[in-house]
Chains A and B, each alone.
Chain A
Amino acid sequence: MILNLKAQSDEVIAKLVQTGDRESFGLLVERYEQKMKRYVRRFLFNEQEDITQEIFIKAYSNIQSFDTSRKFSPWLYRIAHNELINQIKKRGKEQVSYFDFDTVFPHLKAKETADSDILQNQDKELIGKLLPKLDPKYREPLLLYYFEDLDYKEVAEIMRIPVSTVGVRIKRAKEILKKHIIESETKYE
């Protein structure tokens, strides 16, 4: 039975949890624990097990609101997003704006060029170290896209912003990081 379950999709398992199979929730925790830990660590700059736990507790508590015809991972990341934004607000060290003008007006699709995409050539560890240099609104789409391997559409769904805004924020994040990478390279030369 467990072997069978392990072969099932997240959505099928989530449906089982909804119908009362509480044990199956452990399988979802197992699948997403590392991803959630990584997301928490990169977004808040430290690994806090209690926050990761809280994300799963909230996911369990709200699982009846999950539409099993849709993908499970963006739904879970959305819960994690809310929890992490709350944590940032609680800490009060960083500004989280309730309203952003870049979600108001349409944007042209951000152009990707070999020259501008400096991140492709850098290792993730260096980029990870530079993430604190970014505002949460730029940091989050970048880490969801580059580190969690989600696509623009999924990032937009998680952050509840237009897809074009995701593109613009990632482009700006890359520009900021590019500046820091060039600065650090100049220092060592």
Chain B
Amino acid sequence: MNNKEEKSIKDQILGKLEKGGMKMRPKYYFVIRTILVVLTVVLLVLTVLFLISFVFFQLRFSGLHHTPSFGLPGVKAFVVSLPWVLIALIVFLTFALEYLLKKYSFTYKRPLIYSLMVVVVVVLVVGFVVSNTPLHDRFAMRAMENRLPVAGGLYREIEKRALGHAQFGQVTAVRDDEFDLETRLGERLTIKINERTIFQTALNLRVDDVVMVIGNKDNGTVDAVRIQKVPDEKFPMQRIKGRFHMMK
């Protein structure tokens, strides 16, 4: 019985081969498939790196990375103002990358958490490093001149982006219980100081000081809840702002 079946399967396979009923995929099919997978992985890595470095750049550009030093209201402003859609996209693409890498033995031979940790750490570190290169500054300039296709919208969006209740800018005039502030986006605001206002640092404000203010904005006026001076070196986007002004 077994011998009969054995013959039958082998014979059927050989019969099909004889009649041309079984086709062997050519070697180049697998080579092309591997190249496509590798290209997709490279594209995904570059996209994730670009997006994560863009998020770091955006935090720096908007001055949002200073807000947590404002205590709980600062942390709240930080969380509310994070680009969550972009972060969700990065998480999705990272999982897609992990899914593709799972097909390779260097990934599936070890618990997934290891490769996931490597991907996350590499992406965060390289993303942070890239965000500190002039790449995004240049892209931002091009975007403002409408010379950056595809990603241009991302950079122009930073300009429009509201920072929750946090405002960053340079002091342009100081009066008794208020001062004028020109934000990074060129918006002119009047900051009202009242008895509820908390000064995180010794105030002694002067024209050209860079400050961060938390408070409700209404029709060009902000009722300051907290004010903190930001050292010049911690506000690198002045350079960008200068360029934009020159361009205008």
State in angstroms the CA–CA spacing of A57 and B24 once bound together.
9
Contact B23 A49 (CB under 8 A): no
A125 to chain B, nearest CB (A): 17
Q: Check B108–A53 contact: CB distance below 8 A.
A: no
When chains A and B are docked, how far (Å) is the Cα of A7 from the Cα of B21? 29
Q: How far is the CA of A105 from the CA of B109 in the complex (A)?
A: 12
Complex-state Cα separation, A163 to B110, whole angstroms = 8
| A23 & B24 in contact (Cβ 8 Å cutoff) | no
Contact residues on B (Cβ < 8 Å of other chain), bracket: 20 to 34
Give every chain B residue within 8 A of A30 (Cβ-Cβ): 6, 10
A49 to B116, alpha carbons, bound, how many Å? 41
Query: Within the assembled complex, what's the spacing in Å between the Cα atoms of A161 and B102?
Result: 9
- Interface of chain B residues 197 through 226 with chain A (CB within 8 A): none
Report whether over half of chain B's contact residues are helix, strand or loop; otherwise say mixed: helix
Are B13 and A57 in touch, CB under 8 angstroms? yes
Across the interface, do B113 and A60 meet the contact criterion of CB distance under 8 Å?
A: no
Given A65-B30, A162-B109, are A33 and B10 neighbors across the interface (CB < 8 Å)? yes
B27 — nearest CB in chain A belongs to which residue?
A64
Q: Which residues of A contact B16 (CB under 8 A)?
A: 57
Q: Which residues of B contact A61 (CB under 8 A)?
A: 22-25
Residues of A72-104 at the interface with B, using a CB-CB cut-off of 8 Å, are: 103-104
Q: Quick one: closest A residue to B111, CB to CB?
A: A106
CA distance A57 to B22 in the complex (A): 7
- CA A57 to CA B21, docked complex, whole Å: 10
11 additional contacts, CB 8 Å, given A106-B113, A156-B109?
Answer: A18-B27, A26-B13, A33-B9, A34-B6, A53-B9, A61-B23, A61-B24, A105-B111, A162-B109, A162-B111, A163-B109
Residues of chain A touching chain B, judged by Cβ–Cβ distance below 8 Å, are: 18, 22-23, 25-26, 29-30, 33-34, 37, 49, 52-53, 56-57, 60-65, 103-107, 156-157, 160-165
Between A and B, 23 residue pairs with Cβ closer than 8 Å are: A23-B17, A30-B10, A34-B2, A37-B5, A56-B9, A57-B22, A60-B22, A61-B24, A62-B30, A64-B26, A64-B27, A65-B25, A65-B30, A103-B108, A103-B111, A104-B112, A106-B111, A106-B113, A106-B114, A160-B102, A162-B109, A162-B110, A164-B111
